[in-house]
């Protein structure tokens, strides 16, 4: 476990917390939108929760993610070269954030389709990051040969007695 207070680790945790708040807020807003249908006093609550919690969490998570990418590249790591998972994640995230900006207006008129699609994109991007190996990780350079007793110390062949007598 890495407990060093480095900028990359702090921004990574901030990114994670903001995404958790955005995903949780999206789920709460979807649940609230289901309760709004029959109750006059709850009308517009899901749109307000989405606009105040979800949209801002996703915006700040996008900024933290871009900052994290810059810090990682400055530190010598480059997730853009570690396979296709990061490209897929970025595509999903940009669609998710863009759709998240349009969702409060849709929730205000009682339509939940965009909110559900944002949740699907959130879960798909989370799946992509968690299962990086499924999306073509970069192969290791060089051939790995396992070390065994037979390959760890080369054996020197012994000359036959006839060859030894000729050498004298």
The confidence score (pLDDT) of residue 25 equals 92
> Considering the domain boundaries, does residue 50 fall inside one?
yes
The domain of 13 spans 7-138
> Considering the domain boundaries, does residue 38 fall inside one?
yes
| CA–CA dist 71, 69 (Å, integer) | 5
> Considering the domain boundaries, does residue 33 fall inside one?
yes
List the structure tokens of 164.
């030894």
| Residue that has been written with the tokens 């807003």 in this structure | 29
Q: What's the domain count of the chain?
A: 1
> Considering the domain boundaries, does residue 156 fall inside one?
no
> Considering the domain boundaries, does residue 145 fall inside one?
no
The confidence score (pLDDT) of residue 112 equals 85
Q: What is residue 3's three-state secondary structure?
A: coil
Q: 109-118 burial, b for 16+ CB within 10 Å, e for fewer?
A: eeebebbeeb
Dihedral sign, CA of 88, 59, 106, 111? positive
The confidence score (pLDDT) of residue 46 equals 85
List the structure tokens of 123.
């879960």
**pTM, entire model:** 0.72
Positions in the chain short of pLDDT 50: none
Radius of gyration, alpha carbons of the chain:
28
The CATH number linked to 86 is 1.20.120
User: What is 102-125 written as a DSSP string?
Assistant: HHHHHHHTT--HHHHHHHHHHHHH
| CA–CA dist 33, 29 (Å, integer) | 6
> Considering the domain boundaries, does residue 163 fall inside one?
no
The confidence score (pLDDT) of residue 26 equals 92
> Considering the domain boundaries, does residue 43 fall inside one?
yes
Residue 136 DSSP symbol: T
The confidence score (pLDDT) of residue 27 equals 93
Q: How far is CA 69 from CA 12, 30, 41, 146, 148, in A?
A: 10, 31, 44, 35, 41
The confidence score (pLDDT) of residue 150 equals 59
| CA–CA dist 106, 10 (Å, integer) | 35
> Considering the domain boundaries, does residue 2 fall inside one?
no
The confidence score (pLDDT) of residue 134 equals 78
DSSP H helices in 4-160: 7-35, 45-49, 55-74, 85-108, 113-130, 149-152
């Amino acid at each position: 476990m890495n407990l060093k207070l480095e900028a990359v680790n702090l921004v990574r945790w901030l990114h994670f917390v903001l995404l958790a708040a955005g995903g949780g807020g999206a789920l709460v807003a979807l649940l609230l939108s289901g309760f709004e249908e029959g109750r006059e006093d709850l009308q517009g609550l899901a749109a307000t929760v989405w606009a105040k919690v979800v949209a801002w969490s996703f915006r700040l998570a996008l900024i933290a993610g871009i900052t994290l990418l810059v810090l990682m590249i400055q530190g010598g790591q480059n997730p853009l070269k570690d396979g296709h998972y990061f490209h897929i994640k970025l595509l999903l995230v940009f669609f998710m954030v863009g759709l998240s900006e349009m969702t409060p207006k849709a929730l205000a008129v009682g339509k939940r389709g965009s909110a559900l699609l944002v949740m699907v994109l959130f879960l798909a991007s989370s799946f992509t990051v968690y299962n990086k190996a499924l999306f073509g990780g970069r192969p290791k350079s060089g051939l790995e040969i396992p070390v065994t007793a037979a390959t760890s110390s080369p054996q020197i062949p012994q000359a036959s007695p006839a060859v030894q007598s000729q050498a004298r």
